[in-house]
Structure 1
Amino acid sequence: MGADASRFHARKGGENEVTAIADEAARQRFAHELDRNFSVIASAGSGKTRAITERILEIAKQGHRALEWLPQLVVVTYTNRAADEMQQRTRQRILEAGLPLEIVEAFGRAYFGTIHAFCMKLLATYGHRLGLPARLETITDDDDLWNEFVQQQTEIGHSLGHKNRRPLLRLMQARQLMELARNQDHHFVPPQSLGQCPECDFSKVEAAVESAQTNIPKAKAQLRGWLRRWHDTDEFAPWPPCATTAKEFTSCWREAFRPLREWASACASCVAAEVQRDYREFRLAHGAITYSDQVALAVELLRLPDVAMQIRGKNYRVLLDEAQDTDPQQFCVLLETTRPVKARGEWLQTKRDPPRLGQFCMVGDFQQSIYRDPNDLNHYRTLHDALVETRAAEQLKFSVTFRLDQAQLDFVNETFVKIFNNTEGQVEFVKLSPRPEILPGQVIRFELGDDIDLSLSETQRAQAEAERLAKWIRDVGLQKLRARCWREVAVLCPRKTWLGPLRRALLKERIPVEVQSESDRQAEHPAYAWLTALLAIMVDPNASYEIVGVLREVFGLSDDELARFAQGDGYKFQFEHKIPGRGAVAGTLNLLRRVRDVLPHQPLFSAVREIVRMTQLRERLRDLPREQFGDSVSELEKLLSAAAAAEAQQESLADFALTLRRNFDKIRETEPAEADAVQLITAHKAKGSEWDAVIVPFLAREARLGGNIRYPLVIPGEQPFIAFDRSDRANLEDEMKKIQRQEMERLLYVALTRARHTLVLALDAEFFRGKRGVHSDTQLKWLQADANEPNYMVVSSLSDQAAACEETAARHMAAALEPVADSLSALRLETGWVDIARQQAACIIQTVTPSQLGPEEEPGETPDTEEWIEIEPELRPARIANPATRYGIWWHEFAQKIPWLSEGNAWQAAFEANLSLSPEPARSKREWKLLTKYASENPEFFAGNIFAEMPFFWRMNEQNCLEGLIDVALFQPHEKKWFVLDWKTNRIERDQIDKLRVAYRPQIAAYWKAVTEITKRPVSAGIYSTATGDLIAYNEKELAEEWERLRGSQRDELTR
């Protein structure tokens, strides 16, 4: 949002005035009271991103405290795109404030990202405490792993015992139980107690009055047959279906089966918990981890008292955005990290030792909870109330909207106060307040009338509505819609399948259109699917099924050509060997063979780039219709960047292909529109976005919320229940429909609060009205605007004429809209964006870290410690693979906490406080003893001013900078001289000291040169070997010669 969210600047009478807004006090408190925890309820368009930015900016203005607090920031958002945007905005505000560079550097170490990435950050450092493997890969498609896991299972339900396992497996198949456990959205907890399989009393069922018309005799016969099989045999006896829908009989039926179903539900939960645990262990053993695993394992970490103490010792300051989209386990991670160091238990259970003041704030909106299980919303409300009631946090409300103009604001206030009534589990409505100098806005009623042939199918009627709406949009035009361009017009639907007719109708009217929601999954985008398929067949040139897919989809060969080539032999589709003969199929297979022949011994990125070039994949993607698939070439460039990143992680072509395959089902984030075209998007995807004009069609069309339900089904609640067929849901049917309706009411609120200037409602009741009227599962019913409903008159009284607004147009002119495309679009090079970027790279200053100048192999261990310390936290590897590295990191972090200028007792206290966190306590004690001995024998060495973990950044020349962290920098005031000290935790003996000295001389020479040039003071330098207790000092001549050698013979190393 461009305007200041806390104050509005307006010009009146030739002077600037600052006008306070209605919720000014709440915004000021959130921004400035840094020693308070807050739970903020932020309405639609209330500028919550700006509010969070202002709070971070206020932290940055705290001088010395900012240097401590900024690196402790953990800003958690729902998507990576939101995190990037918030980080960029905040950095810009810090730069505009003219704060010192050291503040900017400290801000660069703050965490901005998703909860899952934060959990991975914790697992990377402490995961070894849970026995996690060195390398973990996040997956979304686990079909292959699951099939392998299932094939290895010989028996399930070990915890049930034979007496319970046998009857359970007679009622349902083992495959069903395992598929139930595969559900990542539900965490199964085994029941505390489990009785024996109960006997059921069917006397009331047998006594029920029979009527042939109701199929009751048939139902009784089926029951008797099932009972004979259940009691007299050991055969499989699945739940018998009830052949009748007679209300009283089905009620007796359900009541008779209730004890057995409750027992089966408890047993199934027990088995599911067991399989879920085993499958997670199986995944981890194969180096695979799901998003839900990431959070669950982080929770397990925080249940280890010593690990929890170390994490809390980091003093994280959490700012949670979109709190309504956070589930209970995610809340647990964030809450527990901010509690006092020695806190025990989980806060929501104990209500003791709440998050420390100023270290936990969350911003959310109950009204916009649309993504999660309804129990997650209840959990969020419970957490909010608990924080407020225990005074662990204070409630603030942001009600002023900086998005909606007056007409939309009045409409939302008048309608949703009747919908969000704070009863039966629905949320309470927060009335929106206007901003100063608000524009008039307009809410338009577009009547489609009743001239429609109701004998047409629903799909045909929807197409007719789409065509009329498209014609109306063309006739009204941008000016009357008060939109700056077509990109600022959005059409929102609750269902993705409804977007197709709209797209066809708009194109028919020659209105540019872009569908934002047709590519929910990665695999639905051609760039991702085609490149993945090409890599897969390069790994396995005999994968005939996949090869046929590539020939059809990527190369466009017809089924007829493929059939004539195969002649019934599918094994002909291979390219491990040359294909004889001519023709399109043979020629393409031989092309693929030539591609594969050039790949051996090429690094990953080069191999992928060569595959793209030789198959002309970039050109094929460029030919796809942009209005349907967006910028496919840019998507390809992102994948090439991912290949480069994978190469840096030492992945092979097979590894990268498997990674892409496993992420086929990963949900893609909505990207900002690039083309000037009307945006077609689902209401779910629209959350977090806004447009000048928003059109909501198909108000009376049935949304069909039920879908295809697969059993067994977990029905969430305080006591989750497993439904084995529809009869188990019967008693809960009304409650489930109510919960579903309430969620869709909140989704409608999201849709109707996206428009800045114009909101259009397409009224189509006569298009979809059935014999019983408008269906209950429609937007019109959720809005309660059908005939004789509370909001009917509100909607009926809306204007049916869109009108231009001079005031809005003038405001648009003043906003100086930025161009759609940047200057790079003029470079129409066939080489693609990666090559363009490479051409621009010559003007970029290259950064070198001292660890790059160290040894390729350290004596006794790997050089990962120095690299880990120097690298930005968010760019660090997913796991600390080497035990020696873990110890080195522990030593560096501990040494940073040593109170060098205090007495020896304080040193010892610091060591004892950190000893429990060491991966090798015995070694730590031994090496600590050596350090204290050296300090006692050389007291003058630590007598000056001491700076631990001192960062530096020095520009060596026009093209290169040297950046790093000095472990300990000692300044001797009397001599005005520096000494640079670097810790070395290599496992070596004293006779290897000279090897250590030579190995690290290039790195220390870089430190020496940088500090000398920056401070213009004499500098000495050395390394301290923790294993031997020796300080190894370098003389100035030695370092100067080494630096000259680096500049000369190893210049390529410096500029790489």
Structure 2
Amino acid sequence: MASFTPQQQEAISTLDRNVSVSAGAGSGKTRVLVERFLKILQERKATAQEILAITFTRKAAREMRERVQKGILDRLGAAAEPEEKAYWQEQLQLADRAPITTIDSFCSQVLRENPVEAGLDPNFAVKEEYQIRAFREETAQAFVQKEIQQQDGDLAALLDLYPADRLARILVALIDDLPEILALPGGLAAPYEVSLGGEEAGKIEAEGALDALLESRDLAGPKSRAKLDALADQREAIHQWIAAGEYSKASAALKPVSATGKIKDLVKEAKEALARLETLSLDGAGAEQARHWENLLGRFRQALLDAAESREIYSFGYLSGRAVELLEKRPNVLFRYKSRFRYLMVDEFQDTNEEQKRLVYLLSGGSSRSLQGRNLFVVGDAKQSIYRFRGADVSVFRQVRDAIGETGGDNIVMDDNFRSAPEIIEACNTLFDDLLGTDSRSDVTAQPLHPHQPSSRKPVFAVLKKGECTLEECQQAEGRYVAQAIRQLREDTGLPYGQMAILLPAIHLSRQYEEALTALGIKSQVSDGKGFYERQEVVDWISLLTFLLNPRKDWALAGFLRSPYAGISDRQLTDLLKPWPELSLWESLRQSLEEPFVTLSRKLEALHRTALFQSLPELMDAFQEAFAVEPTLLAQRGGREKLANFRKLRALGVKGAMEDGDTARDFLDRLNLMRRLSARESAANQEADPEAVQIMTIHKSKGLEFPAVFLPDLSKKNHNDTLGIQFLPGQGFGVRVPDAQGNLLETSVYTRLKGEKARLERAEKQRQLYVAMTRAEKYLYLINVDESKEGSRPPDPDKEKWGQSLQRVFAPEGPHGDQMDWEKLDVAEILENQETGQPGAGEAFVLDPAVYDRGRPVTVPRDLELSASALLEYDTCPRSFYYHYFRHMPGIDPETVGEGSHRISAIDLGTYVHRVLELLQEEPEEEALAEALEVLDRTGAEKKVFAREGRKLVEQYCASPLYQELKDLPAQAERDFALPLFQLEQGRAVFQGSVDRLVTLPDGRLGIVDYKTGHPPTDGEEKQGYTRQLTIYALAAEILYPGQKVAWARLHFLQDCSSWELKDREQEEEKLKALVENLLIWDKEEQFPARKEGCQWCPYRYFCPEGTGEQPAVDR
């Protein structure tokens, strides 16, 4: 077994008491967790199913289970005795079902296993986040409306301060905190009442501060002395104002005196004392408002619980609360779980909260109030607690560590770092010793790490001076600096781009770095935990879907036309609208006879019909085919990521259609809801590209490590409070109250809580920086835009941003300046020296065709787009082909089959039969016929026609020699393709189609079968269009399956079960190529002659000058 440090060995081997481990970054805590689990098994203290291991994420649980299983396998392989082998074999089997899980999953399991006691259906489902958020909004709005109708006094008082919709939003924002808000000791008004009780003491304090200031007048300068003399003349009046509670008048009298010079502190103290009194005067109104809130929130919580129960809308937070409540109130249930688990292990304990601590205490010792068991093992790092926004409370880790120490357990510190170079560790130790301090009574303290990796480079600290540049220019310069530093590091060290990471405070900042890297020809890959519904490829689909369902929405059509799928510029849109100012954009598009508008109009018209009459998956497939989604997305920067996101979008649509029966309208409503709620939906998972720089948030990087880390945006501002309510568990509920003019002023409770929350947020921001810096293994770059002016005073250390803290701690002239390699640059200088990735003179620029997004976006040539069967129409009549594919004109209805009013088109019949033949590969004939019929959106009478006519053709095929010959060979049905089969000087010809049946023959070659529901030619001569179609299929198949040649390609006519095989393929390819060359050049009608023998059945007879001008007669 590999060696362990003494601290690691102690954490692994101490099994007879409670243990907490404070594990610094890179100290090997995951390894310790796994080895402790295996140690328990080895000592036979418990089986794999008697150890409850709780992790922070499902991914961590899965990885831990895999490591445990590997450890068991290693021990099984090393076992010498039969009994020992049998033991480890048993543990291996149990490990598959071992309770290695998350808190959310465990709580759900408790409720499912005890449905009667919990009062829940055991088949309950946890709703998606967007569903929960929508439910909460809906419930809050309905609650407010109901309270208004009932003329509730509490609501009426609050409506004087907040409009109804704003009040509903506040209620939604407070939902997760409701249990703790309503559990505040003494109620919500208690802190205000305590504050009011201190008013007299505050008056005495203010009077004393004023007297002390006036007694020190001799220390003031001449100007200040004169102001203080004037204040002294008002001293009696000020006393009367304070006594009468008119604190604003007293503050106004003191306002002219500046806090400068030797009297600075005295002036500040007096002003603050009066300001506190002013705030106290608001607390009476604050107490009254707090009572209204308490009453209203109590009723709202009950309404929310009732609605959740009746509609079965359950979140993980709700279920975990129910599980803890169940274990607290049902001793018999608790006893079963306490007896089941002999050992309890909890990872990432710094990110737990009070409720989760109660759960752990219950499972360990049976009491939620105190730690009574001796089987608890918790591991975490307070310095890495960065999930306060999700309810994590870092103080809980300290409380549990203290409880473990008080009950005779061990508190172990693992401070050896096996990840980062000594230079990085030294800088981290210095910085966080300053920022976090070493007070052992604090929830979080600095913990020096000891490096165990070889020496590398000092961290680079780049300070970019803002000067007179704008914020946008600073962002651009920061992006360029990072991109150039990445390229230089690659040149200096050979480190692959995929081993470099840019870590950001927020993912919306990524664009400037993506663009800068692209300008240098460097790929990037963005990985984040949200933002999917704001991705451009998703927004483009929303615009298209909005238009398809309502063509009157010009803004939606304009958005899609500007997208890469259409590529229309604003100038083109303007020119399109000019001739018809009275028409909508859609009507103008349909009127135009110019390319590319004609093609776009045709495609959008077809998609509009599909959206109205076909399923959502069919619509998305039609869109993919019409607008060549895959090559279009791949041609853009970050194309693989964009394509992955579109595929995820399609999967969401298909899932909704299959499971919930969603239509296109339903899907659009859902997407709009998700965007409105800013739903946290991650972008599509994709494999890490070894040649792409990784870009992610600091939160996303937690638990990861990279050889090189770049940390820009060190001066990002914190978010301001927009709720207007301040709350902290156990401390109070802060409100604002109106003055005479209706302005909302802060009460003392609000001010106190706001200050405390700001302190907690600053502390967590410091921990985020710790997490970010300790991701780096060898190279660390920190980039800060310095906005300070020459001679300006440094900021208060309590209000510093990251970059300011770094500049202060590692100041070049200071004691730690040599721990960083400083680079000082002007933003303007970086912008002037712009570099790009364009090759220099004499270099050959080669665009890797497999990677479209390395460099500026390109456009895939689309000179000629044809379906595989299009040339069959050319063979029948070139003029008809011209009208169809060059002028995009609508044709008249096709030939129909059947009788009376229930006739169906031959095309639709062919589609049905093709579907049946596809299903025949996996299902019996009767089931295939029924399943294909079931999905048809037709009347019962029409379905009978499909069943009758389709059965004839299918039964004939199943009896044919071809079917008997091929039925047992491996095959693919409906193999789609869209491939550039000819790249010629005149342009490119892309053919799209679907091979009905692609057979793998015993010798490894391919066979192609294309079914035809029509009648074969009667004159015994081959028809050129059919020959071309088979040639196209053969070319496509050999591109799709490199190394496999096509042995034969056949048309099979279902009407008489005859087959027709492609002959002399090489000659046919040359003939096809010659025709394509002409089609790429020809653009005039006269170049496509009409063949009059087919005019009677031509769909363009009504327009063609060679026709009669009359529509063909159709037998009725």
TM-score range with shorter-chain normalisation?
0.5 to 0.7
**702, 719, 730: which is aligned to 1:718?**
730
Q: Secondary structure at the match of 1:288?
A: coil
Q: Which residue of 2 aligns with 1:43?
A: 24
Q: Which residue of 2 aligns with 1:668?
A: 682
* Residue 455 (structure 1) aligns with: 468
Q: Report whether the alignment pairs 1:122 with 2:122.
A: no
Verify: 1:521 aligned to 2:531, yes or no: yes
Contact 2:431–2:809 (8 Å) recurs in 1: no
| The one of 365, 385, 397 aligned to 2:413 | 397
CA 1:801/1:279 → structure 2, altered by over 3 Å: closer, same or farther? closer
Asked if 1:795 corresponds to 2:817, the answer is yes
1:259 is aligned to 2:249:
no
State the partner residue of 1:880: none
Alignment of 1:138-177 (within 5 A): 138-141=127-130, 142=132, 144-153=134-143, 166-177=156-167
2:417 alignment partner, SS class: coil
Cα shift readout 1:924-949 (whole Å, capped 9, x = no counterpart): xxxxxxxxxxxxxxxxxxxxxxxxxx
Instruction: Tell me if the contact between 1:527 and 1:635 (Cα under 8 Å) persists in the aligned partners.
Output: yes
Q: Does 1:755 align with 2:745?
A: no
- SS of the residue corresponding to residue 678 of structure 1 reads strand
* 1:320 is aligned to 2:346: yes
Q: Decide which moves more: 609-618 or 561-570.
A: 561-570
Shift of 1:261: 0.8
Q: Alpha-carbon deviations, 1:664-695, whole Å to 9, x = none?
A: 61253887732422223333332211111223
Q: 1:428 to 1:207 in 2, by over 3 A?
A: closer
**Contact 1:280 1:293 survives alignment (8 Å):** no
CA contact (8 A) 2:461 2:820 kept: no
In the alignment, is the contact (CA less than 8 A) between 1:765 and 1:774 conserved in 2? no
**Equivalents in 2 of 1:689, 1:469: separation in Å?**
21
1:139–1:659 contact (8 Å) kept in structure 2: no
Q: Are the aligned partners of 2:505 and 2:713 in contact in 1 as well (CA < 8 Å)?
A: no
- TM-score of the two chains, using structure 2 as the length reference: 0.56
Report the CA distance shift for 1:647/1:758 in structure 2 as closer, same or farther (over 3 A). Answer: same
Aligned residues: 726
Q: How well do the aligned residues superpose, as a CA RMSD in angstroms? A: 5.0
Indicate conservation of the 8 Å contact 1:328/1:379, yes or no.
Answer: no
Partner of 1:858: none
Letter of the structure 2 residue corresponding to residue 486 of structure 1: Y
Aligned to 1:779: 802
| Partner amino acid, structure 1, of 2:721 | I
Q: Look up the match of 1:205.
A: 246
Helix, strand or coil for the counterpart of 2:487?
helix
- The one-letter code matched in structure 1 to 2:107 is C
Residue 368 of structure 1 and its aligned partner are, at CA, apart by: 0.7
1:738 maps to which of 759, 762, 779: 759
Return closer, same or farther for 1:53/1:441 CA change in 2, 3 Å cut-off: same
2:303 counterpart of 1:292 = no
Q: What do residues 17-74 of structure 1 show as CA deviations (whole Å, max 9, x unaligned)?
A: xxx53xx3x32233344454422111001111222222233345467x76xx323444
Where 1:460 maps in the other structure, the secondary structure is: helix
Distance 2:104 2:557 in 1: 35
Q: Do the aligned partners of 2:502 and 2:695 also contact (CA within 8 Å) in 1?
A: yes
Q: Residue 43 of structure 1 contacts residue 399 of structure 1 at CA under 8 Å; is this kept in 2?
A: yes
Match of residue 511 from structure 1: 522
Equivalent residue number for residue 54 of structure 2? 76
1:231-242 alignment runs, 5 A limit: none
CA separation of 1:248 and 1:315: change in aligned 2, threshold 3 A: closer
Equivalent residue for 1:484?
495
Letter in 2 for 1:80: R
* Counterpart Cα distance in 1 of 2:628 and 2:301: 41
1:258 aligns to what SS in structure 2? helix
Distance 1:265 1:382, change over 3 A: farther
Question: For 1:623, which of 628, 634, 646 is the aligned residue?
Answer: 634
Match in the other structure for 2:1006: none
**Distance in 2 (alpha carbons) for counterparts of 1:182 and 1:761:** 38
The one of 450, 455, 467 equivalent to 1:433 is 450
Larger radius of gyration: 2
1:802-847 CA-partner distances (Å, limit 9, x unpaired): 9xxxxxxxxxxxxxxxxxxxx9x9xxxxxxxxxxxxxxxxxxxxxx
Counterparts of 1:291 and 1:529, CA distance in 2: 29
Structure 2 residue corresponding to 1:364, chosen from 341, 362, 380: 380
Q: Do the aligned partners of 2:18 and 2:404 also contact (CA within 8 Å) in 1?
A: no
2:178 aligns to what? 187
Residue 95 of structure 1: how far off its partner (Å): 3.1
Aligned partner of 1:91 among 52, 55, 69: 69
Residue 493 of structure 1 deviates from its aligned partner by 3.5
Post-superposition offset of 1:531:
7.0
Please list every run of 5 or more consecutive structure 1 residues that lacks an aligned counterpart in the other structure.
8-19, 217-244, 576-581, 803-822, 826-1056
- What is the SS of the residue equivalent to 2:321? helix
Q: Output the CA distance in 1 between the equivalents of 2:550 and 2:117.
A: 38
Question: Which residue does the alignment assign to 2:430?
Answer: 414
Q: Structure 1: how far apart are the matches of 2:552 and 2:63?
A: 45
Structure-2 change in CA distance of 1:105 and 1:567 (3 Å): farther
> Is the Cα contact below 8 Å between 1:526 and 1:621 reproduced in 2?
no
Task: Report the residue type matching 2:526 in the other structure.
Answer: V
The C-alpha deviation readout for 1:203-254, integer Å capped at 9, x for no partner, is 42277148599799xxxxxxxxxxxxxxxxxxxxxxxxxxxx9867654431
Q: Distance in 1 between matches of 2:169 and 2:364?
A: 38
Q: Secondary structure at the match of 2:450?
A: coil
After superposition, the C-alpha distances for 1:704-752 in whole angstroms (9 at most, x for unaligned) are 21x3421322331422223335624444554444333222221111122
Match of 1:1032?
A: none
- Rounded to whole Å, the distance in 1 between the matches of 2:547 and 2:90 is 51
Q: Percent identity?
A: 20
Partner of 1:105: 93
Counterpart-to-counterpart distance in 2, 1:485 and 1:311: 49
Distance between the aligned counterparts of 1:623 and 1:491, measured in 2? Answer: 23
Hey, what's the Cα distance between the residues in 1 that align with 2:325 and 2:631? 48
Q: Mark the CA change 1:87 to 1:645 in structure 2 (over 3 Å): closer, same or farther.
A: farther
In structure 1, what is the Cα distance between the partners aligned to 2:388 and 2:146? 30
**Cα distance in 1 for residues equivalent to 2:553 and 2:823:** 60
Conserved 8 A contact 1:71-1:108: no
Kindly tell me: are residues 532 and 60 of structure 1, through their superposed partners in 2, closer, same or farther at Cα, counting changes over 3 Å?
farther
Q: Could you tell me whether the CA contact under 8 Å between 1:533 and 1:546 is conserved in 2?
A: yes
CA distance in 2, matches of 1:319, 1:720: 33
User: How far apart are residue 309 of structure 1 and its match?
Assistant: 4.0
User: SS state of the match for residue 416, structure 2?
Assistant: coil
AA matched with 2:170: L
Q: Contact 1:205/1:252 (CA < 8 Å) preserved in 2? A: no
Q: Distance in 2 between matches of 1:801 and 1:157?
A: 61
What is the CA-CA distance between 1:641 and the residue it aligns to? 6.5
State the Cα distance separating 1:108 from its structure 2 match.
1.1
Could you report, residue by residue, the CA deviation over 1:490-534 in whole angstroms, capped at 9, with x for unpaired residues? 2334344544333333333333333334x6233234566677888
Partner of 2:208: none
CA distance in 2, matches of 1:765, 1:155: 50
Cα distance change, pair 492–303 in 1 and its aligned pair in 2 (3 A): same
Equivalent-residue separation in structure 2 for 1:716 and 1:391 (angstroms): 29
Distance 1:778 1:126 in 2: 50
Secondary structure of the residue aligned to 2:458 is: strand
Q: Does the 8 A contact of 1:157 with 1:270 survive in 2?
A: no
- Structure 1 residue 365 displacement after superposition: 0.3
- Report the counterpart of residue 474 of structure 1 in structure 2: 487
SS at match of 2:334: helix
Counterpart among 674, 678, 683 of residue 698 in structure 2: 683
* Superposition deviation, residue 257 in structure 1: 0.9
Q: CA shift at 1:488, angstroms?
A: 1.3
Q: Which runs of 5+ in 2 are unaligned?
A: 78-87, 200-240, 258-269, 591-596, 737-743, 825-849, 853-1116
